[in-house]
Structure formats: C-alpha cells, structure tokens
Copies of this chain bind each other. A is one copy, B any other.
Amino acid sequence: MKPLPDLTDLPGALLASIGQRVDRIDTPSLVVDLDAMERNIQRMADFARKHGVRWRPHAKMHKSAEIALLLQRAGATGACVQKVAEAETLAAGGVNDIFISNEVVAAPKLLRVARMAAQLAARGGRLAIAVDSAEGIERLAEAMALAGSTHGIDVFVEIDVGQGRCGVPPGAPAVALALAVAHHARLRFAGLQAYHGRAQHFVSATERREAIAAAVRAAEHTRALIVAAGLPVPLVTGSGTGTLVHEAASGVYGELQAGSFLFMDADYARNEREPAQPAFEQALFVKTQVISVSDSHAVCDAGHKSHAIDSGLPTVALLPPERALRYANGGDEHGVLYADGPKARLPALGRMLWLVPGHCDPTVNLHDFLIGVRGGLAMGVVERIIRVDARGALT
C-alpha cells in the first residue's frame, strides 16, 4: 500500500482550495478549465463584433454574478435570466442590466419585478421582461403602479418562432400585445423575444438553418407589422449556441442570448458543425473517481446528482480513442464504466476521470461551486472557486 498523502490541507467538506493541484480536487465536483472558458469568451466577443450584434449571454446556464460581470467586461450587454429569483441574485451581485426572458404572472413575483426595476434604474441599470398575454401585461402594469415606479420597465413581446412553448403566434397577435404594452405609461415596448430553443439541439446543420430561417422570417414580418402600426421595434432578441450563426447573419436579430458557448456540453458536441460557428471548446467537466472495479466494469462516484441527464449521459473525456470508456447510468450517485475501445482497459480503483456533462445548464444547477482551474486539467492548479449564486433560484 502506498502511504496516504498529506491530508492537512483538505479541511472538512471543502472541495478544493486556491492554489491546490488539480489532482487534489475532491470528487465528484464541477471543474471549469478557465483557459478554455476565456478562449470561448474571446471567440464570442469577436464573433459578435464581426456581425455587429449585441450579446446578452443567458445566465440560466452559469447562474453566477461573477461570471455575468466577467462576460460584461468582455463586451456583453448584460445578462438574460429565466426566473425572478435569478434576476434578484444577479442584481445583488452587482449586475445592472438584466432581461427576464420569460413570462411572469404571479402578483407577488411581479411586485418583486417592479421593485427590482426601480432599484436597477436607480443605479443606472435596467430590467426587462417578456410577456405573451394581455392579462400578463395588465398584471405587470398593475404591479408597477403598486410599486409606485417612476422609471418604468422594458417589455419584450415573446413570439413563438417554432419552439412550441411560450409566446404568441407571429403577426397580428404580437402587434396587439405590442400596442397593449405601449398603452401603459410605466411599460416601454422594447421589441420582440424570438427564441427557438428546440432548434439549438437539432443535430443536422441543415435543419438548424431551415428552422432559424423560418424564425427570422416570422420575426421580420412581425416587426414590420408593428412598425406599420406606428410603433418602433427597438430590438429583436433571441438565439442560442447551436444557431447563433444564423441569427447573427440575419440582419433582423440585434442581440444573441447564447449562454452555453461559455462551457459547452456533450449534447452540443454531437451537433453537426457550422463552418461559420466559432470553435467553442469544452470548458466544463465533472471530476470523478473510480470507487469500485469488477471483472466486467468499473464504477465512478458521479451519477445524475452530479450531472443532468436530460440531454443524454456524459462522455468520458481526455482518453485516446483506442482507450475510450463508455459511461452508463448507475443511478443518483454512480456511473458504470465499460471498456469498449479495442485497447481499452478498465480504470484502476482510485483513478480520477473527467466527464463531459450531457447538458451544461442543469448540471451547473446541481452544484454550489465551480472550481476554476488554470493550466489545464492534467497539471493545472485551482485559481478561483466561483459560487453558483443562483443555484436553485426557481421562483
């Protein structure tokens, strides 16, 4: 038996400490390759600049004020969120320009929205929100009145451009809502929310292109109708990491909401590549350890409480193809590893492995911390520990 390593630098339940070597990070834990992440940010900033569009990365992915501010310093306009509680968390963390790209209809939540809008405006920022119903607009206006807001709030009308979820149909229904928004003194009509979420995950590049071409036509047509009704449309916003090439080139979308580009995941890795897409690289990994080995398989300590499996199981990273390991679902706390490659061998007991999660957003939401590593996953050190501030911010 090899002697135990010095344990004194690992107090209690801490996952990692600043300056610690990568091989000492506890498992399972969520590790960000900071070098890869920063290259992804640079690629996105360059891409947006080249196309003359703004970018407002979706913070529902990273859920961290620190990362939202990092993205703003790199040129991002602000942050998107899906939930009021996410917006509150980012606002508390110093983010001043936030768009809740989702419908909110509960009166108590809308009062929180109204108060936050006033707070952000008072410090020179802004809050925006999406609507897709006349009743939602009335409820929002009433909350803004109740809060005594003098600054108002930016309101985007959401149109369904193929997602089949929220949003009114493009065309006349959206015009009616835009006019309804403009009718209220405290609501500013800010444009159209036009996000095709499903298209992000179409594996076929052709299908993605066709889906977004239809979305662009729908948004453009709706915009023209609203303008014809006498109302300017300041912005069409939407897009994601899988399709941003098309929205950016459309001349219709003025803002990209892509968030996953920052970390990427196994699901996006399966997408057929668009030549024009920036070469985003994997920056998010689950570090895991082999805790059991049998003749037929090995078992690691990362199950679906460590990574979300809604978009498929994780892949085992950083192994040469001939030594590939296949990850099979072992339940909440285990992954079962099979040696499928021609020269593959089962990993030894205690071996550390790196998983690429199937879907980055809900994976980050399982963890309280992102362990930021500088210098690569083989020899790097922990540079910072980033709190997932809005983890579990569901309301």
Contact = CB atoms under 8 A, between A and B. Distances in A.
Interface of A: 1, 3-5, 7, 10, 12-13, 15, 26-29, 60, 82-83, 85, 88, 102-112, 132-133, 135-136, 138-139, 142-143, 146, 160, 164-169, 197, 289-294, 297, 299, 304-306, 308-310, 329-334, 336, 349-350, 361-362, 365-368, 391-395
A29 B112 CA distance: 17
Contact of A133 (B27, B132, B293, B333): B293
A344 to B, nearest CB: 19
B350 A394 contact: no
Given A28-B394, A310-B329, A392-B368, A165 B334 contact: yes
A4 B143 contact: yes
Contacts of A330: 165
B105 A291 contact: yes
Nearest to A310: B304
Contact of A111 (B7, B85, B102): B7
Contacts of A110: 4
Contact of A12 (B7, B10, B88, B368): B88
A301 to B, nearest CB: 8
- Per DSSP, chain A at the interface is loop
Contacts of A143: 4
B366 A4 contact: no
B85 A165 contact: no
A195 to B, nearest CB: 11
Contacts of A109: 26
Contacts of A292: 103, 132-133, 165-167
A165 B7 CA distance: 29
B392 A367 contact: yes
A29 B393 CA distance: 10
Contacts of A333: 60, 82-83, 102, 394
16 contacts: A4-B142, A13-B88, A26-B108, A26-B109, A27-B395, A60-B333, A82-B332, A83-B333, A135-B350, A164-B336, A165-B334, A165-B336, A168-B294, A169-B294, A305-B362, A305-B365
Contacts of A336: 164-165
Contact of A361 (B5, B133, B332, B393): B332
Contacts of A394: 28-29, 305-306, 333, 367
Contacts of A334: 165-166
A79 B9 CA distance: 29
Nearest to A391: B392
A139 B105 contact: no
A197 to B, nearest CB: 6
Given A1-B135, A164-B336, 10 more contacts: A4-B139, A12-B88, A104-B291, A105-B289, A106-B289, A160-B294, A168-B294, A305-B361, A305-B365, A367-B394
Contact of A138 (B1, B10, B136, B160): B1
A243 to B, nearest CB: 15
Contact of A310 (B26, B83, B167, B309): B309
Contacts of A304: 308, 310, 362
